[in-house]
A and B are shown apart, each in its own frame.
Chain A
Amino acid sequence: QSALTQPRSVSGSPGQSVTISCTGTSSDVGGYNFVSWYQQYPDKAPKLMIYDVTKRPSGVPDRFSGSKSGNTASLTISGLQAEDEADYYCCSYAGSYTSVFGGGTKLTVL
């Protein structure tokens, strides 16, 4: 059960779009439509932003969207805002009642 692979950092200017990738295997990301994304500010608990690959919990702006192709899931943030600067983690169900997280991506808003 290896961690999912995310880029260590991404950046974008206000108003732009950024995409964060999350690569796993056919045993996790590719095998189930149970991928989620979390936003975490320093010293705060993570917040669920996307679940079931594409669904947004109530209250999450529609600027946040998720997708998946094969063993790679992606989080896209459009209309980037300063408040989006945070760490982002993906997570996938990995079968046999287990879950696995990605290593995290630091988003910098330039």
Chain B
Amino acid sequence: QVQLQESGPGLVKPSQTLSLTCTVSGGSISSGGYYWSWIRQHPGKGLEWIGYIYYSGGTYYNASLKSRVTISVDTSKNHFSLKLSSVTAADTAVYYCARDRGLRAAFEFWGQGTLVTVSS
């Protein structure tokens, strides 16, 4: 059973960069056919897809966040990461990592989520 676990600071100051890592266990991130994703949920709101990465490094982002988002992968550590720059209070959210079973918007495995608050 694949498991995902987010980690990173729970508090980030405005204008700084939010950095999170998703560690994958129970399976290799290098297994072909799966797309690894970041998704966020503002407090009391709906889900927002942030972006995908493939194990080979190909990245694809939500157009509304593209200018500030970088997703990277480290296959040797079996994890992938999210960086969101120039954050504001509007970036306060629970951030989830998830696995899509083949670029089909079918997120079958999720991390438990981590709350990131942007505040000075």
Contacts and interface: CB of A to CB of B under 8 A. Distances in A.
A105 to B, nearest CB: 10
15 contacts: A1-B62, A38-B107, A45-B111, A45-B113, A52-B104, A89-B46, A89-B47, A91-B49, A91-B107, A93-B105, A97-B60, A98-B62, A99-B37, A99-B105, A100-B105
A46 B41 CA distance: 11
Interface residues of A, number: 27
A104 interface: yes
Interface footprint category on B:
20 to 34
Interface of B: 35, 37, 39, 45-49, 52, 58, 60-64, 96, 100-101, 103-108, 110-113
A91 B111 contact: no
A100 to B, nearest CB: 6
A48 B62 contact: no
Contacts, number: 75
Top-10 shortest CB links A-B:
A97-B60, A51-B106, A45-B110, A99-B105, A104-B46, A101-B47, A34-B104, A93-B105, A103-B46, A91-B105
Given A89-B46, A104-B47, A36 B107 contact: yes
A70 B68 CA distance: 34
A48 B37 CA distance: 14
